Structure 1
Amino acid sequence: MDTPKFLFKQNIFLTIASFIIVFVTSSFVFMQEESSAIVGVWKTGDGNAMVRIYKNGEKFQGKIVWLKEPNDPETGKPKVDKNHSDEALRTRPILGLVNIWGFNYKDKNIWEDGNIYDPKNGNTYSCTIKMLNPNTLEVRGYIGVSLIGRTDTWTKQVAK
């Protein structure tokens, strides 16, 4: 057996294996970082609420953390989910309410398979989220197919 050729082949093999390990590991870390780009506080398009998006297990969800008008003008008390179809849930507060859930990161800054709840009308919709840039989300709620729905643009809020 020719030892120098064997060592040369072994070194090439180890070098290639090292590159593959580094590539796979860095791709996985990059994908994790990219999928978490959605995490943070986002102001809704109308500016009336802010939603904190966070990872819950393998999925992403969000809850309402700020309301421009936190109290119900009729009662003067904190707003509750008075339009929910389930009467038992109509007294839960809007502030702190999980209103988006079940999102999976797909690729190319798109999160799918989620739902969004609109406390204004008490309806839940299928939803996709697309990150246009690090500070802008397109949140699309729809019924059945994505063509029948509405898109809202959310802006990222900077921690103060």
Structure 2
Amino acid sequence: MKLGHLLAGLTLAAVAGAAQAADPVEGHWLVESGTAKIKVAPCAADKARMCGVITWVKAPAGATPKDTNNPETSLRARPLVGLSMIRDFKPVGAGKWSGGKIYNPSNGKTYASKMSAKPDGTLKIEGCIAVICQAQTWKRAT
């Protein structure tokens, strides 16, 4: 009887350890301007890293916003919805990620970036060129 309880306890502990809680940066986020939503989740190619995809863009009815500012002309006709916007963030602490890249479709540029979950439930995103960084605060989307 005791062996059965021990095995059940070990099995339960193994299952609980495997089912880790989601990182606080994961989820759907509304960008600071309110014009787009981004889904942040583990990258498909490497679950230890964090990535993000545009899931919604504010646009006139029937319009399909395109990546018109992309420096690569062959990519300018692709839709923004479904576009990978953030990629390859590595964990540096609880709710903190760094070493990633963020693509800004407004100007077609990609920046070194970091992100962190804030105690108030927002997400701070910083894009940097050399040592100069600009930050945005994203709110959790519904």
Q: TM-score, normalised by structure 2?
A: 0.79
Per-residue deviation, 1:29: 6.8
CA RMSD between the two structures: 2.4
User: Which runs of no fewer than 5 residues in structure 1 stay unpaired?
Assistant: 1-21
**Sequence identity (%):** 30
For residue 29 of structure 2, the aligned residue among 37, 42, 52 is 42
Runs of 4+ in 1 over 6 A off after TM superposition: none
In terms of fraction of residues, the more helix-rich structure is 1
Larger radius of gyration: 1
Per-residue deviation, 1:69: 1.7
State the match for 2:127 in structure 1.
Answer: 141
Aligned residue pairs, count:
126
1:154 and 2:138 equivalent?
yes
Provide closer, same or farther for how the CA distance between residues 149 and 55 of structure 1 changes in structure 2, counting only shifts above 3 A: same
For residue 57 of structure 2, the aligned residue among 50, 67, 79 is 67
- Name the CA distance, whole Å, in 2 between partners of 1:101 and 1:65: 15
In terms of fraction of residues, the more strand-rich structure is 2
Q: Higher relative contact order by CA 8 Å / sep ≥ 6: 1 or 2?
A: 2
For residues 113-128 of structure 1, the aligned pairs below 5 Å read: 113-128=99-114
Does the aligned pair in 2 maintain the 1:37–1:134 contact within 8 Å? no
For residues 99-110 of structure 1, the aligned pairs below 5 Å read: 99-110=85-96
Matched residue type, 1:43: L
Q: TM-score, normalised by structure 1?
A: 0.70
